[in-house]
A = this chain, B = another copy of it.
Amino acid sequence: MIPPKEKPTFIEEARRKQIIDAALQTIAEQGYTQTSFAEIAKGLGITKGLIAYHFDGKHDLITSAIHTILNRQGAYIKEQVEAQEDAGNKLQAYIQASFEYIAQNRAHFVALVDLWGSFTSPEEKIAFSQTAYDPCRAHLQKIFRIGLEQGEFAGFEPQGMSALVQGSIDGVMLQWVFDPQAVDLPQASRELSQMFVRRVKK
C-alpha cells in the first residue's frame, strides 16, 4: 500500500523554497514569458527535471510562488497593524507597512505583476483576484469595523472603502514597480495614509 500523501521531508521543503525563490528572481529579471524551467534550473545549478519532480507542473510552481509572496507580505503587515492600539493608527500602519514591504521587496512585485499574465481563463483570474485581494480587503474591513464600533470612525461603508484603500496602495505601487523613479514612495505613503485616516475619522 502506498500512502496517498507523505508529509514532506525537510529536504523536500528546502528544495521547494529554494526553487520558488529562484523562480521569483528569474521572473522579476526576465519576465514571466521568458522564465522556463530550464532558466530557473540554470540559475540554481540543478536540472529542470528536478523542478518537475518537486512541483506538480508549472501551474503548481506559479501558484506556490504567488502564495509565498502574498503570505510574506501579509504577515509583515499584520505584525505592524497589531502593534497599534487604536483603529486610526492601525489604518496608518496598514498603508505604511504595505509600502514598506513593497519598497524592500521590489523584485517580488515585479514578478507578481508578471504572474498575472500566467492566468488564462476568467475563472483563474477571478480565483487569483480572490487569493490576492480578499485577505487584504478583509483585513482592512476588520480595521474599519473596529474603528466604527469604538466610535473612532464614521460616515463611510467599510466594504467599498477597503477596495479604495487597497486600490490606491496597489495603483501607486504599480507605477513604482514599473519605473522606480516615477514615484516618491515614502511621500506617497504619508500622503495616502493621511488622506484616508482623515476621511474615515469622525
Q: Could you list which residues of chain A lie within 8 angstroms of chain B, going by C-beta atoms?
A: 2, 29-34, 45, 110, 113-114, 116-122, 125-126, 128-130, 133, 137, 160-161, 163-164, 166-175, 178-179, 182-184, 187-188, 191-192, 195, 199
Contacts and interface: CB of A to CB of B under 8 A. Distances in A.
A191 B110 CA distance: 29
27 contacts: A30-B120, A30-B121, A31-B118, A31-B120, A31-B121, A32-B33, A33-B120, A34-B120, A116-B116, A117-B117, A126-B178, A130-B179, A133-B175, A160-B191, A163-B175, A163-B182, A164-B168, A164-B172, A167-B172, A167-B175, A167-B188, A168-B171, A170-B170, A170-B171, A170-B175, A174-B174, A195-B195
Contact of A163 (B126, B129, B172): B172
A31 B178 contact: no
Contact of A167 (B122, B128, B137, B171): B171
Contacts of A31: 117-121
A71 to B, nearest CB: 19
Contacts of A32: 33, 117
| Nearest 4 CB-CB pairings of A with B | A117-B117, A171-B171, A167-B171, A167-B172
A199 B128 CA distance: 34
A129 B178 contact: yes
A182 B133 contact: yes
A125 B137 CA distance: 28
Contacts of A2: 45
A195 B198 CA distance: 10
A42 to B, nearest CB: 10
A13 to B, nearest CB: 19
Given A2-B45, A171-B172, A199-B195, A178 B133 contact: yes
